[in-house]
A and B are shown apart, each in its own frame.
Chain A
Amino acid sequence: MTIAAEQEMPRSKRRSSLIRSPQFSSLVILIVLLAVFGIADANFLSPLNISNMMAFLPELGIIALGMTLLLTAGEFDLSVGAVFGLAPVVVMLLVQNGGFDIGIALLAGLLLCIAIGAVNGLIVTKIGISSFLVTLSMLLVVRGAALYITQGFPLKSWDQPGFFVTLLAGSFNIGTFRFYTSLWWFISLSLLAIYVLHYAKLGNWISAIGSNRNAAVARGVPADAVKIWLFILTSVLAGLAGMISAFRISAASPVAGTGYELEVIAMVVVGGTALTGGRGTILGTIVGALMLRSIRNGIVLIGVPGLAYNIFVGVIILAMLILHALLQKNAARS
């Protein structure tokens, strides 16, 4: 073998491993979907529609970032949708009925999210109950609390312009596109998550814990603490997304975010993160979030009856997962 050939090998190997990676296949499918929707309905790629999608995208996307890290560490959180609903409701109640300053109310909301995440994490790690059961119960507790304290009625949200509204739900125009500040939140949090998972020491720990917890613990990695902090992070991100949504539509509903937990998990696994832990990709999650958002939007645009569209969403998710499984099998064989 010549030296040139030896140097050539790793590069082509790297290229083929990139092509075979789950986030790449998700990206290809996203592009195909965008093209199909774009051809089927010219309005799909119009500035108005893109602006619309970008307004919704960050709200679920932000939660999906936390969920990706949590899934990579081998746990998941079903209570995010309920926290998405409860956080703004509590903040608004404190402001409207308690007469608190909006800043203090937001701080209280943040502390509440931290507490919910910490309880999830402590029960999962210290008592050793599966996160499925713990966070399913937490979903009921949190959603129930939101319904009870509001008596089931939506609250008018904070609509006076000010620092916090601008920070979370301000909007700006770039050409004919109209974007919300939430998009900046999503982009910066994504970059941060990419850094943490793939380049920081903590990311190495998160992947190791999800891949083989005993091995990580045997190397002195504080697995329980890492998991607890990830539960807290996911809860806080769900609360943040809830606040962004409530500010944007100027209403805090106790049923907001119902079903979001499954949609978020779908985004994450469609992007290529393994439900069993150990393998996570933030880029894949961003692709997954874009994909689910454009499916929901595009399907309505091309005229699929509203009541039928979950069928399409479900079928497309299933197809993605089958594709990932086949690729995985293929990679294992070669």
Chain B
Amino acid sequence: MEVLRLQNLQKSFGSVRALKNASFALNEGEVVALLGDNGAGKSTLIKAISGVFSVDRGDIYVRGQKVSIRSTRDAMDLGIETIHQDTSLAPDLSIARNLFLGREPVNLKWLGVFAPLDLAKLRDAAAALLKRVGISKKLDADALVSTLSGGERQSIAISRAMQFAAKVIILDEPTNNLGVEETHGVLRFVKEVRSAGHSVLLITHNIHHVFQVADRIIVMRRGEIVAEQTVADTDLLTVESIITGADMSALLKETRAK
């Protein structure tokens, strides 16, 4: 079933056309990798979906319903959670407080922003969540995020997205700056997210990771989607050549011939 559809999205910054005419769809329980060189328009596209800014033209559909996303809050309410590298968590807050940041469980709701946090519920829910997502090392919900490793932080951010039953989870370079083992941890986690029924849009520079977890590949170049293929139907070299625009396989044949 289709969860997210983008139709003819366009966005310009002054004279720069960052998004020319982007259209694609994302299905339930599917991991789609969004690839492209620097400046290809990947960030612009995900910022439009996650509500950082609105597009100049084009439509976004969530489960077949046309929606308008004007703020990050709008996107979250529609079940679209974006996880940016390094910017998703507040290091000076505990894991529990980070998990519920912006959606804190409170008592006496009528007090608005002055309402007291339901600390017991906060801690219990956080502990249950940490257990459910099965983060390998046992983590204390009261531990400060600043004491966690990069991979643990990514896992916390992703589990937070799952917690709020997000339909679409956008991962922006989730394996950047991570060690080999942590990278594998995060990729394994992405597969778990998929088997839990969430859809994932994965933005990355690392094509190897794409082939490990993605079902489908979308390649962008100069603000346009230039290719869309299922992982089974393509290979690393083909994808690489589409990204750069150069025909790598021809190049390879040439060198082999020599």
A residues with a Cβ closer than 8 A to B are: 195-196, 199-202, 204-205, 207-208, 210-212, 214-221, 274, 278-279, 332
Closest 5 CB pairs of A and B: A219-B102, A278-B92, A211-B90, A211-B92, A220-B73
Q: Least Cβ distance of A160 to chain B in Å?
A: 36
Contact A278 B90, beta carbon cutoff 8 Å = yes
Among the 9-residue stretches B111-119, B194-202, B225-233, B240-248, the one with 4 or more Cβ atoms under 8 Å from chain A is B111-119
**Given contacts A218-B84, A219-B101, A279 and B92 within 8 Å (CB-CB):** yes
Contact A207 B117, beta carbon cutoff 8 Å = no
Closest to A279 in B: B92
Instruction: Enumerate B79-112 residues with CB–CB distance to A below 8 Å.
Output: 82, 84, 87-93, 97-98, 101-104, 106, 111
Contact B117 A212, beta carbon cutoff 8 Å = no
Choose one: B50, B72, B98, B113; the contact of A205 (CB below 8 Å): B113
Cβ contacts B147-184/A at 8 Å (1 or 0 each)? 00000000000000000000000000000000000000
Distance, CA A216 to CA B88, complexed state (A): 8
**Given contacts A207-B92, A211-B92, A214-B87, A200 and B103 within 8 Å (CB-CB):** no
Contact B90 A216, beta carbon cutoff 8 Å = yes
Which residues of chain B are within 8 angstroms of A214 by Cβ–Cβ distance? Answer: 84, 87
Contact A204 B117, beta carbon cutoff 8 Å = yes
Which residues of chain A are within 8 angstroms of B87 by Cβ–Cβ distance? Answer: 212, 214-215, 218
Closest to A276 in B: B92
Closest to B83 in A: A218
Contact A204 B104, beta carbon cutoff 8 Å = yes
Contact A199 B88, beta carbon cutoff 8 Å = no
What number of residue pairs across chains A and B have CB atoms under 8 A from each other? 84
Closest to B88 in A: A215
**Given contacts A207-B93, A208-B90, A278-B91, A216 and B113 within 8 Å (CB-CB):** no
Closest to B102 in A: A219
Distance, CA A219 to CA B84, complexed state (A): 12
Contact B90 A207, beta carbon cutoff 8 Å = yes
Distance, CA A274 to CA B88, complexed state (A): 21
Which residues of chain A are within 8 angstroms of B119 by Cβ–Cβ distance? Answer: 199
18 additional A-B pairs beyond A205-B101, A215-B87, A220-B73, beta carbons within 8 Å, are A199-B119, A201-B104, A201-B113, A201-B114, A201-B116, A202-B114, A204-B97, A204-B101, A207-B92, A211-B91, A214-B87, A216-B90, A217-B72, A218-B84, A221-B102, A278-B90, A279-B92, A332-B146
Distance, CA A279 to CA B71, complexed state (A): 28
Distance, CA A215 to CA B84, complexed state (A): 9
Q: Least Cβ distance of B99 to chain A in Å?
A: 10
Q: Least Cβ distance of B40 to chain A in Å?
A: 22
Cβ contacts B118-161/A at 8 Å (1 or 0 each)? 01000000000000000000000000001000000000000000
B78 at the interface (CB under 8 A from A): no
Distance, CA A217 to CA B87, complexed state (A): 10
**Given contacts A200-B114, A200-B117, A204-B117, A215 and B92 within 8 Å (CB-CB):** no
Contact B117 A210, beta carbon cutoff 8 Å = no
Contact B72 A208, beta carbon cutoff 8 Å = no
Q: Least Cβ distance of B36 to chain A in Å?
A: 22
Distance, CA A201 to CA B101, complexed state (A): 9
Distance, CA A332 to CA B82, complexed state (A): 29
B22 at the interface (CB under 8 A from A): no
B76 at the interface (CB under 8 A from A): yes
Which residues of chain B are within 8 angstroms of A200 by Cβ–Cβ distance? Answer: 111, 113-117
Distance, CA A279 to CA B98, complexed state (A): 14
Q: Least Cβ distance of A175 to chain B in Å?
A: 36
17 contacts between A and B (CB under 8 A): A200-B111, A200-B115, A200-B116, A201-B104, A204-B93, A204-B101, A207-B90, A208-B93, A211-B92, A215-B88, A216-B101, A217-B72, A218-B82, A218-B88, A219-B72, A220-B71, A221-B101
Closest to B160 in A: A219
Contact B116 A202, beta carbon cutoff 8 Å = no
Distance, CA A227 to CA B138, complexed state (A): 36
Q: Which residue of B88, B90, B115 has the most chain A CB atoms within 10 A of its CB atom?
A: B90
**Given contacts A201-B106, A220-B102, A212 and B114 within 8 Å (CB-CB):** no
Which residues of chain A are within 8 angstroms of B106 by Cβ–Cβ distance? Answer: 201
Distance, CA A211 to CA B117, complexed state (A): 19
Closest to A192 in B: B114
Distance, CA A132 to CA B91, complexed state (A): 24
**Given contacts A208-B101, A215-B101, A220-B102, A201 and B93 within 8 Å (CB-CB):** no
Q: Which residue of A202, A212, A218 has the most chain B CB atoms within 10 A of its CB atom?
A: A218
Choose one: B89, B111, B115, B116; the contact of A212 (CB below 8 Å): B89
Contact A202 B93, beta carbon cutoff 8 Å = no
Which residues of chain A are within 8 angstroms of B72 by Cβ–Cβ distance? Answer: 217-220
